[in-house]
Structure 1
Amino acid sequence: MSAKPLRIDFVSDIACPWCAVGLSALEQALARSADAVQASVHLQPFELNPQMPPGGQDVGEHLAAKYGSTPEQQAQIRDTIRQRGAEAGFAFHPEGRGRIYNTFDGHRLLHWAGLQGEAQQRALKRELLAAYHGRAEVIESHDVLQRAAEAAGLDGAAARAVLDSVQYADEVRAAEQTWLQAGIHSVPSVVVNQRYLISGGQPAEVFEQALRKIAHEA
């Protein structure tokens, strides 16, 4: 049986640790199911904290205010996420993220990278997730974003020109609204063929099983 083409929209935010787990696990699943699935992956923007001001907020304070979680609960969740990340091949920073930042400029840069190609966009996404969740870097910083673009093999000067402008702001906001109106209110959300939804940072086995099933039905 030949591999079936599938469109995958991966809706996520750079600030979301489960999105780092989910993307890594999805890529594992795609490698394992290459005999049945020929996927095109489109990274779609979602902002967990669109009103976050410059400078961000301490992650402990933010999680306590948003979810009512205690430091002990936060530490337990960090351990769970770190373990799931290791299973998916993603290494989280031992001390966590430190601060929560606005990610809109990162999404603008990802939109620009997507215009260069699917592989370039995914490479940049991996670099941004590693910079923030793996090294606890300031992901609102244009210097950090430019370095991530260069590490992904993209033109650093062109990336900086995007960051220092308002390019692709309208496109990102329009895409965010499209997914909100489609009912996406938590991330990561994996939408296959604009019809099937796989929610959350699932293990690679779950993604693989779902993709094989969808490909078979297709």
Structure 2
Amino acid sequence: MPDAPSFRVDVVSDVVCPWCVIGYYQLAKAARDTGVELDLHWHPFELNPEMAEGGENLRDHLASKYGTTLEGSIQARARLTEIGAALGFTFNYADDMRMYNTFRAHQLIDWAAEQGKGHEMKQALFSAFFTHREDISDIKVLADAAACIGLNHADAQAMLQSRDRTDRIRQKEQFWISRGVQGVPAMVFDHHHLVTGAQGEENYARILLHLRDNRAA
């Protein structure tokens, strides 16, 4: 029997976006349930490109940016934690959790991708931020995360300190913005079908089956 075909999925997301985590986990479960093989490619998007060094209290940040109330924040965190747990991901919110600039994190993911570990790096940084509440703008934290997935700690640190990938990441971000991506997660299936937001396992399964059926037709 021939191998099942794989479908390219370009995922535009940010490391500090909880719905990007959920959207990916929903998509991954839909792929397992339908038997569809995914060829994932992660792309950078910054929710807070102007975030200062050291970050900002997450709850204060959301209140300032979106007008989120304390009650709304408590409810949203509980909902995200419940959804994440059902999918196998741990959201570990705390009152002192901070939002950080993610530009260096995107540089690290891009660098890891060149070594065949972009997906693993993305997952490690999701966990570093949401589960372990680490400062994913800090070069040492990022280099440690790279080492945890088998990449060279010193090389990762040197790359981040050099800023050699600054223009490359800016260009990638602008590419997706120029194509209409204004929020994340944004997923492009098989180069043609753009889907935004975390769609849920059933909707992702329908998309994957539709693509598979069209390819077979």
RMSD: 1.6
Paired residues of 1:96 and 1:136 also in contact (CA < 8 A): no
Q: Distance in 2 between matches of 1:215 and 1:161?
A: 43
Alignment correspondent of 2:187: 190
- Taking structure 1 as the reference length, what is the TM-score of the superposition? 0.92
Alignment correspondent of 1:134: 131
Q: Distance in 2 between matches of 1:75 and 1:199?
A: 25
How many positions carry a matched residue from both structures?
A: 214
Q: Distance in 2 between matches of 1:159 and 1:27?
A: 28
Structure 2 SS opposite 1:194: coil
Alignment correspondent of 1:145: 142
Alignment correspondent of 1:19: 20
Q: Which aligned pairs between 1:35-184 and structure 2 lie closer than 5 A?
A: 37-95=36-94, 98-117=97-116, 120-184=117-181
Long gaps (5+) in structure 1 = none
Aligned-residue offset at 1:33 = 2.7
Letter of the structure 1 residue corresponding to residue 41 of structure 2: H
Among 210, 214, 217, which residue is 1:217 paired with?
214
Deviations 1:51-110 (A, max 9, x none): 111011111111111111101001111111111111221111142771111000000000
Long gaps (5+) in structure 2 = none
Q: Distance in 2 between matches of 1:97 and 1:169?
A: 30
- Does the C-alpha gap of structure 1 residues 97 and 29 become closer, same or farther in structure 2, counting only changes over 3 Å? farther
- Taking structure 2 as the reference length, what is the TM-score of the superposition? 0.93
- Does the C-alpha gap of structure 1 residues 100 and 109 become closer, same or farther in structure 2, counting only changes over 3 Å? same
Give me the identity figure in percent.
37
